[in-house]
Amino acid sequence: MNVPVLTIVVPCYNEEETLEETTKELTRVMENLVSNKKISSESSILYVDDGSSDRTWEIVEEKIVSNIYVQGLKLSRNFGHQGALIAGLETAKDFSDCVVTIDADLQDDVDAIYQFIDKYQEGYEIVYGVRDKRDTDTAFKRNTALWFYKLMEKLGVKLVPNHADYRLMSKRALDEFVKYQEENLFLRGIVPLLGFKTSKVFYNRKERFAGESKYPLKKMIAFAFDGITSFSVAPIRFVSFLGFLLVLIGILIAIYTLFAKLFSFTTSGWTSLMLSIWIVGGMQLLAIGIIGEYIGKIFKETKRRPRYTIEQNSFLEKRKGQIIDFIKK
């Protein structure tokens, strides 16, 4: 069995209060895995400092010197949780066989990493950490998160419920992942799109170890909005549908107003007003919807997502076998 090089990517934004404990915990896991020959001793913990304004980076620099596992990446400013994760993944990909991403606040159970590695050894390319219970989150956060998953599902975006960004990805999955070159990259939506053999590991989510959540309501809403608009054109389609409906209603109202004008007394001007409001209004909305449809197409095109991902190619494998046979001779 080959021993993989593991990198644990940890995004950090103003985490001076948690880094000490987080490093201790992650180092413990690393040491256990290395001494059990589950991972290579070249494995590392990669802290990604997302433009913190506190002592986060200083602490990381200290750790780089004092702890053989710790490596650091400092971003030039705050790019947000997703940006920090992507920076970490793209950096780690080139010198790791598999990468685990985890938050700095120890809310996710670090011991689940043992199971992640076992699953990886069984041949899974992506392993999702899924929260068993969410009773340590506030009721508000739990409910809003649940609505969000439901809404996303309705809009046709595949997400893994109760999974945040605690997961393992193999080098192979990462190589495919970096082909998704879109600006607004919503990790939780993209990873399931990669396909491959995936598995889940369940764990209990704990309270934040120290410090405050870096995800206030404002950021949560922005995150949800980004998630929806970077995956779905459903809102645009809804406008088209509304326009179409309004034109239909407009036609009915037009018939009614014309009848009213012909067969009963109506105030002068009423008919023409009614007609223009309904017909013109409906047509405008329909036109916006149609323009929206085209914008939706452009939106999809500009993402330049890969059109497919090959998991196995017998052609290549045969060639590889032939080459190996040739070398052996």
Q: What is the distance of C-alpha 10 from the center of its chain? A: 15
Residue 81 binds: one of Mg ion, ligand UDP, none (C-beta under 5 to 8 A by kind) = ligand UDP
For position 109 contacting ligand UDP by CB under 6 A, the verdict is no
Among 89, 214, 236, 250, binds ligand UDP (CB under 6 A): 214
For position 204 contacting ligand UDP by CB under 6 A, the verdict is no
Q: Which residues contact 125 (CB under 8 A, 6 or more apart)?
A: 169, 170, 172, 173, 194, 196, 197, 198
Q: How far apart are the first and last CA of the chain?
A: 25
For position 137 contacting Mg ion by CB under 5 A, the verdict is no
216: left (phi over 0), alpha (psi -120 to 50) or beta: beta
For position 82 contacting Mg ion by CB under 5 A, the verdict is no
Least distance from C-beta 54 to ligand UDP, angstroms?
11
Residue with Cβ nearer Mg ion (18 or 170): 18
Among 7, 56, 101, 107, binds Mg ion (CB under 5 A): 107
Least distance from C-beta 298 to ligand UDP, angstroms?
29
For position 15 contacting ligand UDP by CB under 6 A, the verdict is yes
Instruction: Copy the structure tokens of residue 217.
Output: 């309501």
Crossing angle of the two packed helices 187-194 and 80-93, in degrees rounded to 10: 40
For position 105 contacting ligand UDP by CB under 6 A, the verdict is yes
For position 88 contacting ligand UDP by CB under 6 A, the verdict is no
Instruction: Copy the structure tokens of residue 106.
Output: 């120890």
Distance CA 211, CA 51 (A): 17
114, 32 contact by CB (below 8 A): yes
For position 50 contacting Mg ion by CB under 5 A, the verdict is no
For position 59 contacting ligand UDP by CB under 6 A, the verdict is no
For position 18 contacting Mg ion by CB under 5 A, the verdict is no
Among 104, 113, 130, 246, binds ligand UDP (CB under 6 A): 104
Distances (CA, A) of 205 to 23, 142, 191, 211, 224: 18, 12, 21, 16, 21
For position 22 contacting Mg ion by CB under 5 A, the verdict is no
Alpha-helix runs per DSSP H in 48-199: 56-66, 80-93, 112-121, 139-154, 171-177, 187-194
For position 103 contacting ligand UDP by CB under 6 A, the verdict is yes
Distance CA 134, CA 325 (A): 54
Least distance from C-beta 153 to ligand UDP, angstroms?
20
Distance CA 113, CA 55 (A): 27
Least distance from C-beta 11 to ligand UDP, angstroms?
3
Residue with Cβ nearer Mg ion (223 or 299): 223
For position 105 contacting Mg ion by CB under 5 A, the verdict is yes
For position 227 contacting ligand UDP by CB under 6 A, the verdict is no
For position 22 contacting ligand UDP by CB under 6 A, the verdict is no
Interaction site with ligand UDP (CB under 6 A): 11-13, 15, 50, 78, 80-81, 84, 103-105, 107, 208, 213-215
Interaction site with Mg ion (CB under 5 A): 103, 105, 107
